[in-house]
Amino acid sequence: MTLPARPRLRPSYPWLLVGLLWMVSFLNSADRAIFNAVKPLLRQGFHVTDVQLGAIDTAFFWTYAVCAFLFGRAGDSVRRRHMILFGLTFWSTATGMMPLATGYAMLMGMRTLVAIGESTYYPTATALIGAWHPPATRSRALAIHQTAVFAGGGAGGWVAGRLADAHGWAAPFVLFAATGLVVMVALTFTLRDDAPVPPREAQPRVVEPLRLILSNPAALLLCGVFCLATAASSAVLNWCNTFAHDVLHLNLAESALVGPVMITSAGFCSVLVGGWLADGLAARMPLGRFVMLGVGLGIAAAFLLPFPWVRSASAVALLLFATSFGKGLFDGCIYAALHDVMPDQARATAAGLMTMMGFLGAGVATVALPVIATRTGLAPGFGMMAGLYIVAVLALIAGRHQLRRVRAEQAHG
């Protein structure tokens, strides 16, 4: 079968694509960070408890989880460009509607709409980048894209805190929504998805992507590891603002600097290190990327365990930076590791399933943490999250033989 000719593109387009999607990923993460930054004001304005706010987080995560899988599957069947533009428009509009909430139920409903919109993005975007970048540069390309998650979470949380301190909790939702719609218009003229693929991957799709995933033990193992790691990191990220505000007695902007800005600054740096090291290790050993996953999670656990014994703002910031540096090493290669064990025709679906597992775990941990805190306080609860990282490392060690076998099968077609 003769494939249709594609328009000629500059050789730099694969990296330009990373830059374009970086902006979208930044907004995806920034819009998500607003809610965490304004939780103390929402608690006062809507007369709700931390557990009730945690329930909104859980509703967000579980909605995101299910929809990420569904939209990820769609990303392997429709033009990925269209999925990204649709999602950006949807979640930006939903973010701008958040100030319309007049009660707790509406607040949860509006937040759920944001989750639906945001869930369209990551599985499809990572699959698109993976299609444009060969294995030799794939970890680095995905790692650069991943830095936007940390930049958006940190900068978004800080800007949201400043705006909320000055103008009320609704202001950041409106500003970020308008920015998203402007970026959407710009992407309409620049984003492409007709990536060149190797002849082996250009054959007609005859196997249902979900069947490929469910028969792949390495992909399922990575989904489980991602679930544990995302549960731990999300619980800490979603409640560090409140910890800094309530325990360290900082205002919203200062709380963001101690918490999310430390977390996201560390991640921004380490995700690049993780991607670069993972590409180097993968060129030298079959399980190079998987080794980096375990190293990153081990570091994350080691610096989260001492949290119950610190009370100064500087010590809290230092531990959050260090544990997040380890998690960033993991984030820098997790999607590239998944691509190592899955063919292109099922990568968006696989990323959607992995994202679903991660956000299901995040939903449980985010509501469990304030429940635990009613008995122990937030700091000991943070320390307990290290156990999830440790279990994930043990799972990678136990599954190394399966990872090696499936990796070899994919490498040799």
Q: Which of 141-145, 291-295, 338-342, 382-386 has the highest mean pLDDT?
A: 291-295
Lowest-confidence pick of 8-12, 139-143, 213-217, 397-401 = 8-12
Sorting pLDDT into bands at 50, 70 and 90, what band is 203? very low
All structural domains of the chain, each given as residue ranges with its CATH number in brackets, are 13-190+204-411 (1.20.1250.20)
3-state secondary structure of 76: coil
Instruction: Give the tokens for residue 132.
Output: 């444009």
Question: Taking a C-beta distance cutoff of 8 angstroms, is the pair 115, 67 a contact?
Answer: yes
Give 245-268 pLDDT, tens digit per residue.
887 888 777 887 888 788 888 988
Residue 202 and residue 28: Cα distance in Å, rounded?
A: 31
Sorting pLDDT into bands at 50, 70 and 90, what band is 10? low
Q: What is the mean pLDDT of residues 194-204?
A: 50
Write down the pTM of the prediction: 0.75
Q: Check residues 194 and 168 and name the one with the higher pLDDT.
A: 168
Does pLDDT of 279 surpass 60?
yes
Give the pLDDT confidence score for residue 207 in this predicted structure.
67
Does pLDDT of 5 surpass 70?
no
Does pLDDT of 185 surpass 50?
yes
Residue 96 and residue 325: Cα distance in Å, rounded?
A: 32
Sorting pLDDT into bands at 50, 70 and 90, what band is 61? confident
Give the pLDDT confidence score for residue 412 in this predicted structure.
66
Instruction: Give the tokens for residue 190.
Output: 């620049």
Question: Taking a C-beta distance cutoff of 8 angstroms, is the pair 161, 256 a contact?
Answer: yes
Go through the chain and tell me how many residues it has.
413
Sorting pLDDT into bands at 50, 70 and 90, what band is 413? low
Sorting pLDDT into bands at 50, 70 and 90, what band is 146? confident
Strands (E), 26-179: none
Give the pLDDT confidence score for residue 156 in this predicted structure.
84
Torsion of CA 264, 266, 272, 277, to 10 degrees: -140
Name 361's Cβ contacts closer than 8 Å, sequence gap at least 6.
Answer: 227, 228, 230, 231, 234, 388
Over the chain, what is the mean pLDDT?
85
Question: Taking a C-beta distance cutoff of 8 angstroms, is the pair 138, 27 a contact?
Answer: no
Give 366-394 pLDDT, tens digit per residue.
888 888 888 888 888 888 899 999 999 99
Give the pLDDT confidence score for residue 227 in this predicted structure.
95
Does pLDDT of 296 surpass 90?
yes
Residue type (1 letter), 82: H
Sign of CA dihedral 129, 130, 132, 137: positive
Sorting pLDDT into bands at 50, 70 and 90, what band is 304? very high
Give the pLDDT confidence score for residue 153 in this predicted structure.
80
Give the pLDDT confidence score for residue 318 in this predicted structure.
93
Give the pLDDT confidence score for residue 2 in this predicted structure.
41
